[in-house]
Amino acid sequence: MAHFLFNLFAAFTLICAAGVVVSKNAVNGALCLLLSLVGVAGLFVGLNAYLLAFLLLLVYAGAIVALFLFIVMLLDVKGDQRPGLKHLPLVARLVALALVAAGVASFLAHGRLVAPAAAAAPALGDDLKLYAYQLFTTYLLPVQIIGFLLLAAMLGVIVLSKKFEGLEDIK
């Protein structure tokens, strides 16, 4: 069952990542990115890395994709003007093709990665307790300051992007 779920989440992630690349509309691309990140979080859950899955969904899917959608909708980006590959130099195309071929050849040559022994892996519970203790005691003030700075920056973007009605008469 675990092998089936891994293949399901891997295929879902790859299909959504391809949707990000081929989507002409920026909003659809961002939503495909969100679904791709959900697929990667599913892969992390399959590896019993629940904290990584939660942080991926919280930080990337919750904040970065929402910020990207906010900026796309704020700037009113149209998906019609998409540059073709004709303007990309031949050298850049050949370098990209060579890098992809080298990655595929390396994967085929080396095969699977060898998993470390379970006894060699350190227990993560103590490290997480120490991390949480430091986060909520020693580093609480810097985290709160960064949160307020991000809030002020977001409010500044909203104020600067707002179109005021009576400003044309002042000029």
Look at residue 164 and tell me if it is in a domain.
no
Contact 43, 7 (CB under 8 A): no
Distance CA(100)–CA(144), nearest Å, equals 43
CA gap 100, 91 in Å, rounded: 14
Domain assignment present for residue 155? The answer is: no
Per the domain annotation, does 135 fall within a domain? Answer: no
Please report whether residue 13 resides in a domain.
yes
- Between 11-15, 81-85, 158-162, the lowest mean confidence (pLDDT) is in 81-85
Residue 68, in any domain of the structure: yes
C-beta of residue 112 within 8 angstroms of C-beta of residue 6: no
Position 118 scores a pLDDT of 59
Neighbour tally for 39: CB within 10 Å: 20
Helix then strand then coil, in percent of the chain rounded to 5, is 75, 0, 25
Rounded distance between C-alpha atoms, residue 122 and residue 37, angstroms: 27
Task: Quote the number of domains for the chain.
Answer: 1
Residue 167 has pLDDT above 70, yes or no: no
Residue 67 lies in a domain: yes
If you average pLDDT over residues 41-52, what whole number do you get?
A: 86
Percent of residues, the chain, with pLDDT higher than 90: 14
Single-letter amino acid, residue 107: F
**Separation between Cα atoms, residue 35 and residue 121, nearest integer Å:** 31
Note the pTM of the prediction, 2 decimals: 0.55
The answer to the question of residue 159 being in a domain is no
52-103 pLDDT, tens per residue?
888 888 888 888 888 877 777 777 655 555 556 666 678 877 888 898 898 8
Assign residue 22 the CATH number of its domain: 1.20.120.1200
Whether residue 39 has pLDDT greater than 90: yes
Domain that holds residue 9: 1-79
